């Protein structure tokens, strides 16, 4: 295979490393004394990034380097902000980031044998429903939603992993296109998961699951009618939840006017908006803001902290980064050589899209706030690990795409050669 000219992303990598170094250097001088841990953190991040890059490219040169850079950059921004807020949480995040990296490589490996996921279909369905069911019984509450389980000292959010499983299950059933009997089990699964999540009051995750499934369904089947029915059912469900759950009512009320109930429910949104407004275009400067006045500054509202200290332009750049990730993810899906991988890749992309849109939209009061995390950036082990898994899946599929393309080109040139041979000599010179 001749070289399709590859643009080396090494330059980009170095700039990202420079960014991380600069930010942590600034953080290390925060209290007047030199904080060596900050620099150690930066070096760890840089090393991990470099390691990922080198390993992925070693596995296959068709790994999507830019997806990797974007995801790592987002994670780095998250960790910079978390270190600024509280170094302990940042180190925890770093640890989980390492775990996420391992999960990513595992997923990359698994994607070389995607048939595994088809075989594990029922295992995934049962496991997901079981986990969510267990949540319902023994789950611990946090922020009004029961979405945490503790196993052997580790607490994690199963809903994050169920989302990933959903993508595979949906793809499993939607690959064949022979009518509604085929995809019905996946729809039922999606409805059950939604239902369980709603019962656990994790409405953000329910919204995400419903939206993702509907979009995957539509792209797979093109069945506008059924999709609209599903959408309608979802809207009815949303409206019903408005009447049933008072905290949904509260959320909508504070979305319309958070200042009216400033003392109680509107506090978070109002603080977030004030933080974003205080940042202005360029931000107040790292460590110069007052981010701790915003509730959930580490998780849901981390975007407001970013806008406060780094500025609006930076915030828009972050939104654009997500958009680039989505575009590249969708391109991985478009260039996939078989339908199953196409759906899986697109499903992963949709998950990231919806999740980032919903949370950023909630923070800037475009849509009512829901309690989900910003992919890669927010503090939260399960969220980060699940996002890294999505990254791994996309990378794996990108590698497959490249390899298959290379095979196809080799095949084509072989055909070409044979065709020439049969035609006789071309130019005897």
Of positions 143, 195, 222, 232, contacts other proteins by CB under 8 A: 222
Q: Distance between CA 297 and CA 208 in Å, rounded?
A: 22
**DSSP code, position 134:** H
Provide, for the chain, the percentages of residues in helix, strand and coil under a 3-state DSSP scheme, each rounded to the nearest 5.
Answer: 75, 5, 25
Stretch that binds other proteins, among 6-14, 104-112, 186-194, 245-253 (CB under 8 A): 6-14
The residue from 79, 162, 296, 333 that contacts other proteins (CB under 8 A) is 333
- The verdict on 409 binding other proteins (CB under 8 A) reads yes
411 makes contact with other proteins (CB under 8 A): yes
Contacting other proteins within 112-171 (CB under 8 A)? none
- Per CB under 8 A, contacts with other proteins among 22-41 are 22-23, 26, 29-30, 32
262 binding other proteins? (CB under 8 A): yes
CB of 181 to other proteins, least distance (A): 17
Stretch that binds other proteins, among 39-47, 127-135, 136-144, 323-331 (CB under 8 A): 323-331
Cα separation of 352 and 349, whole Å?
Answer: 5
Q: Do the beta carbons of residue 206 and residue 197 sit within 8 Å?
A: yes
Instruction: Compare residues 15 and 95 and give the one whose CB is closer to other proteins.
Output: 15
Stretch that binds other proteins, among 108-116, 150-158, 232-240, 318-326 (CB under 8 A): 318-326
Terminal CA-to-CA distance of the chain, rounded, Å?
26
Question: Residues 160 to 199: which contact other proteins by CB under 8 A?
Answer: 177
Q: Which is nearer to other proteins, 234 or 311 (CB)?
A: 311
Among 66, 91, 245, 255, binds other proteins (CB under 8 A): 66
Cα separation values, 300 from 232, 375, 388, Å: 28, 10, 18
Q: Phi-psi bin for 91: left (phi > 0), alpha (psi -120 to 50), beta?
A: alpha
Query: Any contact of residue 408 with other proteins (CB under 8 A)?
Result: yes
Does 277 sit near other proteins (CB under 8 A)? yes
CA–CA distance, 141 with 125 (Å, rounded to integer): 24
Interactions with other proteins, residue window 280-309 (CB under 8 A): 280, 282-290, 293
Q: Which residue has the tokens 């925060």?
A: 30
d(CA 13, CA 71): 12
Applying CB under 8 A, which part among 65-73, 85-93, 190-198, 234-242 lies near other proteins? 65-73
Q: Which of 276, 296, 369, 372 binds other proteins (CB under 8 A)?
A: 276
72 binds other proteins (CB under 8 A): no
Q: Which uninterrupted H or E stretch holds 404?
A: helix 381-423
Site residues for other proteins, window 336-365 (CB under 8 A)?
Answer: 337-339, 342-343, 346, 350, 353, 357, 360-361, 364-365
Distance of alpha carbon 308 from alpha carbon 104, whole angstroms: 31
Out of 116, 188, 228, 317, the only residue in the binding site for other proteins (CB under 8 A) is 317
Determine if 57 is a binding residue for other proteins (CB under 8 A): no
Number of H helices, E strands in the chain: 16, 3
Shortest distance (Å) from residue 34 CB to other proteins: 12
Could you give the CA distance from residue 216 to residue 222 in angstroms, rounded to a whole number? 10
Say whether residue 4 binds other proteins (CB under 8 A): yes
Long-range contacts of 58-63 (CB under 8 A, 24+ apart): 59/108, 59/399, 60/399, 60/402, 60/403, 61/6, 61/402, 62/398, 62/399, 62/401, 62/402, 62/403, 62/405, 62/406, 63/108, 63/395, 63/398, 63/399, 63/402
* Distance between CA atoms of residues 360 and 304, nearest Å: 9
Tokens of 215: 């979009």
Is residue 260 a contact residue for other proteins (CB under 8 A)?
no
56 binds other proteins (CB under 8 A): no
Q: Which is nearer to other proteins, 124 or 342 (CB)?
A: 342
Tokens standing for residue 79 = 């960790």
Contact call for residue 255 and other proteins (CB under 8 A): no
425 near other proteins (CB under 8 A): no
| 273 near other proteins, judged by CB under 8 A | yes
CA dist., res. 244 & res. 399, Å (int): 47
Segment interacting with other proteins, rule: CB under 8 A, options 48-56, 123-131, 132-140, 217-225? 217-225
The size of the interface with other proteins (CB under 8 A), counted in residues, is 102
């Amino acid at each position: 295979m001749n070289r399709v000219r590859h643009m080396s992303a090494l330059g980009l990598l170095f700039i990202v490393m420079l960014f991380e170094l600069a930010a942590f250097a600034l953080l290390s001088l925060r209290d007047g004394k030199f904080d060596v841990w900050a620099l150690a953190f930066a070096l760890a991040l840089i090393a991990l990034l470099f390691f990922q890059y080198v390993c992925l490219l070693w596995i296959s040169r068709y790994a999507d380097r830019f997806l990797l850079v974007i995801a790592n950059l987002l994670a780095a921004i998250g960790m910079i902000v978390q270190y600024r807020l509280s170094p302990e949480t940042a180190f925890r995040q770093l640890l989980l980031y390492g775990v996420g990296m391992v999960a990513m490589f595992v997923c990359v490996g698994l994607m070389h044998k995607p048939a595994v996921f088809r075989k594990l279909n029922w295992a995934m369905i049962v496991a997901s429903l079981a986990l969510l069911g267990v949540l319902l019984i023994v789950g611990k509450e946090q922020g009004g939603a029961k979405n945490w389980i503790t196993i052997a000292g580790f607490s994690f959010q199963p809903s994050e992993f169920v989302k990933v499983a959903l993508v595979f299950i949906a793809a499993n059933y939607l690959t064949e296109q022979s009518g509604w009997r085929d995809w019905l089990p996946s729809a039922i699964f999606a409805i059950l998961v939604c239902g369980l999540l709603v019962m656990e009051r994790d409405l953000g995750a329910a919204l995400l699951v419903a939206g993702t499934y509907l979009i995957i369904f539509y792209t797979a089947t093109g069945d506008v009618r059924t999709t609209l029915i599903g959408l309608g059912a979802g809207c009815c469900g949303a409206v019903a939840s408005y009447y049933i759950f008072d905290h949904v009512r509260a959320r909508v009320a504070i979305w319309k006017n958070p200042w009216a109930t400033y003392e109680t429910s509107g506090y978070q949104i109002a603080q977030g908006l004030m933080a974003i407004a205080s940042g202005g275009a360029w931000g107040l400067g790292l460590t110069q803001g007052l981010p701790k006045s915003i509730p959930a500054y580490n998780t849901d509202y981390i975007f407001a902290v970013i806008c406060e200290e780094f500025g609006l332009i930076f915030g828009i750049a972050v939104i654009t980064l997500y958009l680039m990730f989505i575009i590249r993810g969708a391109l991985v899906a478009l260039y996939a050589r078989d339908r199953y991988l196409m759906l899986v890749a697109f499903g992963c992309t949709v998950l990231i899209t919806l999740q980032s849109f919903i949370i950023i939209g909630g923070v800037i009061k475009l849509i009512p706030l829901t309690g989900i995390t910003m992919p890669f950036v927010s503090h939260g082990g399960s969220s980060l690990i699940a996002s890294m898994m999505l990254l791994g899946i996309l990378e794996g599929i990108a590698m497959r795409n490249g390899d298959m393309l290379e095979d196809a080109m080799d095949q084509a040139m072989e055909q070409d050669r044979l065709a020439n041979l049969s035609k006789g000599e071309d130019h005897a010179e």
